[in-house]
Structure 1
Amino acid sequence: MKIVIFGLTISSSWGNGHATLWRGLCKHLARCGHSIVFFERDVPYYAGARDLHELAGGHLRLFSNWEDVRSLARSELRDADVAIVTSYCPDAIAATELILAESRAMPVFYDLDTPITCARLKAGEAVPYIGGRGLRDFALVLSFTGGQHIANEFRDRLGACKVRPLYGHVDTDIHRPVPPQSHYRADLSYLGTYSEDRQPALEKFFVAPARSRQDLRFLIGGAQYPENFPWSSNIYFVQHLPPLEHAAFFASSRLTLNVTRRAMAEMGWCPSGRLFEAAACGVPLLSDEWPGIEEFFTPGREILTTRNENDTLAALTMADAELQRIARRAYERTMDQHTSDKRAGELILLLEQAASVSGRHQQPEEA
């Protein structure tokens, strides 16, 4: 297949989770013989932290504004099999209009921010990456979040015909067990961009335990942390880690924490890609609780969960041998189910299934 993608970014992993996911998917799609063209608006904040300049096995099309690239996009679409528009793509509506006007490539929408989309819809707010016709013109709608509730939301509110989950994943070429590095050493680590809606949970599960255990070393890696963050003397900070440093960061931790954004946690069935990345690096996982977590990792066996400061402190007192057993089980589950090559295979199967029916004219499925 030739697949044309109109996305937020694949060239910069700064402050977003889209780039890492798309890199893993596109690489494995290309390895399977598929052709990829990725259109990305060249904005200053990503240009200043660009950590990918060429798309292996495909083409990265950076552009300053839509009008300048419209003719090139039209040309690429004329021999494309599939055209994918993503959430938070700055030109999503214009790209959708062009895809439908060309009427050649099968139109697909991939929402990598489903909980945010649903929250805006419920609040009656406009969704800037979805046009006035909703999702009714797409042959397939992919959601980063699973569960029947999401499928119903997209069908009832946006007219989507076929909705399927395509979860996060890990590129095992990048995220894998490596030797620990002393500068990333931590008893508990946390990797994530600063987010106001994650902050209360981060303070409960990470900051408070750090204050209680001044004898232990805590480490945060990420971007956009404010000056008034409640640091303590044993909390260390690494400013924005590119994906190539993730493995060493995780592998140097005795335990690593995952904190899910509030909308994702409330909706459930929305695993952060960080969970799979950390598991692939062989580090024991500690996560907040959310509906559906057991479909990805078994609590108590493959992952530890925390509801408060005491749960985190209890996890930190567990024996190394038990933590490593948990880490090993999570690693095996991840290699079996949650790698980028597995998701690429799932994506192709979903595209083939959607192409086998009259995508643009099908009726919404029964819930």
Structure 2
Amino acid sequence: MKLVVLGLSLSSAWGNGHATTFRALLEAFARRGHDIMFLERDVPWYRDHRDLADPAYCRLEYYSSLDDLERWSGEIVAADAVMVGSYVPQGVEVARFVQARARGVTSFYDIDTPVTLAKLERGDFEYLSPEVIPGFDVYLSFTGGPTLRRIGQRYGSPAARPLYCSVDSERYRPMDVPRRWDLSYLGTYSDDRQPTVEKLLNAAARALPERRFCVAGPQYPSSIDWPTNVERIDHVAPADHPAFYAASRFTLNVTRADMIAAGWSPSVRLFEAAACATPVISDVWDGLDQLFAPGSEILLARSTEDVIAALAGLTAERARAIGEAARARVLAAHTADHRAQELEEHLVEAAQRTATAEKELA
């Protein structure tokens, strides 16, 4: 099929997890024989940090405004499926634009579902509004579980389906590099994640001054008081993520508050670290135990003491076994190839549902 995607970014992974998610998914989708165009809003903060100029698996084009998007109307009309992603600038207007022109299946891919729904509850329609949700043939959500029923029942989606983040298991794999840190964290700053970073990493670092820690990611305020044994790295390019994880005895997974409340919201970083066989210490939320087995595939931490116990109490052999078990789980269920097949199935299902409805009307 011909798929047109209007997403936040494919060209730049700076300050967002959307790019790596789209890259893995669309490359795997292309391997299934499909033709893909990605339309990205040309904005300076991504333009100045582009790390993927010309993907081999899809055509990447830019538009400068909603009016400029009109240049690509023909592609949208001719597509078998059109996908609009979360956090796209002027996303509500983009949704209306697509729904007015597309002749194939239309879908919304929400890589931020709990955040999106919290914004809708507040009347904040930054990139999605209740009025456009029923106009998408399928709502693809990176959150599963009860949230899917809510999208259908409260917002009128004709089909809400899970499409979790995933990982390119060829790029994200174990590496033999020197260990630099006992515990690392890779993630862009956010106000609601920082208290957990403070509790599960900074407090542990202060309690274990002989251990080494690292926090990597942009947009952290200069006002944060980092312990002296916490190294700060402003940005790690996606190509360097596997080496970053490999240099860590353990890595930390921290989840935003809205996503903890919704549950069933695994981040792309969780799958990436697991694919690298780096043992993950994670905060706790509903559904996590259905993705990774606590104690044998992932370690759960509710307190600073839980982190200290893992760092000081687990042998190297036990930690390695947990990391390897997590990688095996990812390879069995959470690679980009798995998600690409699921995406194809969801789009085909939506097309068949539409065709059936049209026959009934005729």
With the length of structure 1 as denominator, give the TM-score of the two structures.
0.94
**For 1:135-191, what per-residue CA distance to the aligned partner results, in whole angstroms no more than 9, with x for missing partners?**
11111111110012x123212332111000100111123211112246xx1011111
Alpha-carbon distance between aligned partners in 2 of 1:235 and 1:309, rounded to the nearest angstrom: 15
Which AA in structure 1 matches 2:50? R
- Match of 1:190? 185
- Match of 1:89? 88
Select 2:325's aligned residue among 323, 326, 329. 329
- Match of 1:168? 165
Q: Aligned runs of 1:202-217 on 2, under 5 Å? A: 202-217=197-212
- Match of 2:6? 6
Q: Aligned runs of 1:18-37 on 2, under 5 Å? A: 18-37=18-37
1:131 Cα deviation after fit: 4.0
Q: Secondary structure at the match of 1:357?
A: helix
1:54 Cα deviation after fit: 1.2
Which AA in structure 1 matches 2:143? T
1:361 Cα deviation after fit: 5.8
Do the aligned residues in 1 keep the contact of 2:92 with 2:132 (CA within 8 Å)? Answer: no
Which AA in structure 2 matches 1:28? A
- Match of 2:65? 65
| Mean CA deviation greater in 134-143 or 247-256 | 134-143
Root mean square deviation, CA, Å: 1.5
Q: Secondary structure at the match of 2:171?
A: coil
1:103 Cα deviation after fit: 4.0
Structure 2 gap ranges (5+): none
Alpha-carbon distance between aligned partners in 2 of 1:131 and 1:218, rounded to the nearest angstrom: 41
Q: Secondary structure at the match of 2:181?
A: coil
Alpha-carbon distance between aligned partners in 2 of 1:311 and 1:239, rounded to the nearest angstrom: 27
Aligned length: 357
Is 1:137 the equivalent of 2:132?
Answer: no
Alpha-carbon distance between aligned partners in 2 of 1:108 and 1:359, rounded to the nearest angstrom: 16
Alpha-carbon distance between aligned partners in 1 of 2:342 and 2:224, rounded to the nearest angstrom: 40
Q: Aligned runs of 1:157-306 on 2, under 5 Å? A: 157-181=154-178, 185-306=180-301
- Match of 1:354? 350
Do the aligned residues in 2 keep the contact of 1:24 with 1:170 (CA within 8 Å)? Answer: yes
Alpha-carbon distance between aligned partners in 1 of 2:129 and 2:182, rounded to the nearest angstrom: 47
1:30 Cα deviation after fit: 1.1
Aligned CA distance change for structure 1 residues 6 and 101 (closer, same or farther; 3 Å)? same
1:101 Cα deviation after fit: 2.2
User: Percent of counterpart pairs with the same letter?
Assistant: 43
Alpha-carbon distance between aligned partners in 2 of 1:69 and 1:353, rounded to the nearest angstrom: 28
Do the aligned residues in 1 keep the contact of 2:182 with 2:212 (CA within 8 Å)? Answer: yes
Do the aligned residues in 2 keep the contact of 1:181 with 1:249 (CA within 8 Å)? Answer: no
Which AA in structure 2 matches 1:92? G
1:77 Cα deviation after fit: 1.5
- Match of 2:336? 340
- Match of 2:119? 120
Which AA in structure 1 matches 2:200? F
| Mean CA deviation greater in 351-360 or 43-52 | 351-360
Alpha-carbon distance between aligned partners in 1 of 2:277 and 2:149, rounded to the nearest angstrom: 37
Aligned CA distance change for structure 1 residues 103 and 198 (closer, same or farther; 3 Å)? closer
Do the aligned residues in 2 keep the contact of 1:181 with 1:248 (CA within 8 Å)? Answer: no
